[in-house]
Amino acid sequence: MDKRPIGVFDSGVGGLTVAKQIIKMLPHEDLIYFGDTARVPYGSKSRETVTKFSEQIIRFLLTKNVKAIVIACNTVSSNCYESLSGTFSDLPIIEVVTPGVESCLKATKNKRVGLIGTQGTVSSGAYEKRLKNADSGIQVFKKACPLFVPLAEEGWTDNEIARLTVREYLTELVEKDIDSIILGCTHYPLFKATIGEFVGEKVTIVDPAKATAVKLKEYLHNNDMLTDNEGEGRREFYVSDNYANFDKICESVLHYTCRAEKVDIENY
């Protein structure tokens, strides 16, 4: 049994949607979350820059003696996973793209799939490549939705501005007769209700967060790394820049009192 905490990180608040599923599935595990609020968004930055940021965050989480890392960010997962796995070869690292692909393959019936994400994720081709490797008949219709991240960081996910933005971005995908849509950014599940209202019941919304939590649980179980704690796990939250919305959104997503501590991540 391994009582060390699980480390989870993202560019900002989006990864809280993954943390929520991990806490739900592994309630006894301690969890440490880092949101890079000073440098959000990642989607418009180069692969080299995002890799550098991710390495700094992982080095910080290692000071907290984490037993595994969950990259709760599609931009990092799709662009930097192999590099990070090589740099930190002794550390189990779980990414979100593979679980998202597996969930989509189960969801689609007509093999017409929509993918929304940051520019970095969409441009990487990671989802499209893996989907087509699994089923060459799948058609992927992609759309970068860069405004979703700042809107989510602002907490504007269920108002008229959010609805207008969803309509502007997703109209062309719905017109392609997609039957499923992958939320290829961990910020996007915060818009799940608004997106669902627009795309309707005929389109399945694929959120990789739950499948990621399942994959993490399987890994910890198979490697005898689950804790034997019986009570609720401890949660810690860290950010690279304090701002009021993080704690507010954290509490809204997790239903947990969040008091994030600022870390000078450039020192790692």
Catalytic residues, by residue number, are 73, 185
With tokens 């989480």, the residue in question is 61
| CA 152/CA 140 separation, integer angstroms | 25
Angle between helix axes 16-25 and 244-254 (nearest 10 degrees) is 40
What are the DSSP E strand ranges found in 161-243?
180-184, 204-206, 235-239
CA distances from 203 to 115, 134, 175, 178, 199 (A): 12, 21, 12, 7, 6
- The three-state secondary structure class of 6 is strand
| CA 128/CA 142 separation, integer angstroms | 9
| CA 166/CA 113 separation, integer angstroms | 17
